[in-house]
Amino acid sequence: MPKWLIAVCSMMIAFSAILPAAQAASPSTLKYGITSLDVPDLQFRLKVLGYFNNSTVTTYYGSMTQDAVERFQADYGITSDGVAGSKTWSLLKKVSVNQEELDLLARIIYAEARGESYQGQVAVGAVVMNRVQSSEFPNTVREVILQAGAFTAVDDGQFSLTPDSTAYQAATDAVRGVDPTGNALYYFNPNTATSSWIWSRTQTVKIGNHIFAV
């Protein structure tokens, strides 16, 4: 398992103990020197995106967190002041995931594509992330994955399987914007698909056993 993935998994365990309290209310404005239960959520999201390099999350907003926020803000075109205010939080939640969402994304990737190549697994995660960004679908990872009839693996119980480290790595890459599908919103197996509607969609690429489409 890659060292960075081991660090993420270790951080997830530490984060789980303080997640419920941190999600109890809307995140507060955070800046250097503050200790808050919202800080671990901030650090985790920045960690998944590759900005926060500490191996564990804490409740303290130190210089490493401030630097990560500044680099995130600069890359996404907002004022790079190192303060996690409402605008930064809103953008961060749109382009990142928290621990629960990363778990869900890894689970759907493993359930739907564990027999596919690594690129094929990232592609499934990318479809989920593309749906989150699309006005045609719900706007959270959880809602997209659990939308009625959206994924076969949710309906047939495979979604309950425990994902492996490859699925987590694929989920992280998908969150970071790796998208081999060409912005696809759908995918299907041409050998088993029976819906005439899915065949009517504009196809973007075929990866392994899946055709991706918009």
Contact (Cβ atoms closer than 8 angstroms) between residue 51 and residue 72 = yes
CA atoms of 96 and 8, how far apart (whole Å): 14
Distance of CA 65 to the CA centre of its chain: 20
Q: Is the pLDDT of residue 16 over 90?
A: no
**Per-residue model confidence as pLDDT tens digits over 111-159:** 999 999 999 999 999 999 999 999 999 999 999 999 999 999 999 999 9
CA atoms of 26 and 14, how far apart (whole Å): 21
- Report DSSP state, residue 158: G
Burial of residue 26 (number of CB atoms within 10 Å: 0-12, 13-18, 19+): exposed
Tokens of 97: 């995931």
Considering only residues 202 and 6, tell me which one the structure prediction assigns the higher pLDDT: 202
Position 175: which residue type? V
**Per-residue model confidence as pLDDT tens digits over 143-200:** 999 999 999 999 999 999 999 999 999 999 999 999 999 999 999 999 988 889 999 9
Q: Residue 55 has what pLDDT?
A: 84
Q: Residue 174 has what pLDDT?
A: 98
Q: How confident is the model at residue 22 (pLDDT cuts 50, 70, 90)?
A: very low
Q: Is the pLDDT of residue 49 over 80?
A: yes
Strand partners, 210: 207
**Per-residue model confidence as pLDDT tens digits over 30-39:** 999 999 999 9
Q: How confident is the model at residue 11 (pLDDT cuts 50, 70, 90)?
A: low
Strand stretches in 102-209, DSSP E: 186-188, 203-207
Q: Residue 20 has what pLDDT?
A: 46
Show Cβ contacts of residue 127 under 8 Å, excluding neighbours closer than 6 positions: 181, 184, 185, 186, 187, 212
CA atoms of 90 and 162, how far apart (whole Å): 30
Contact (Cβ atoms closer than 8 angstroms) between residue 202 and residue 213 = yes
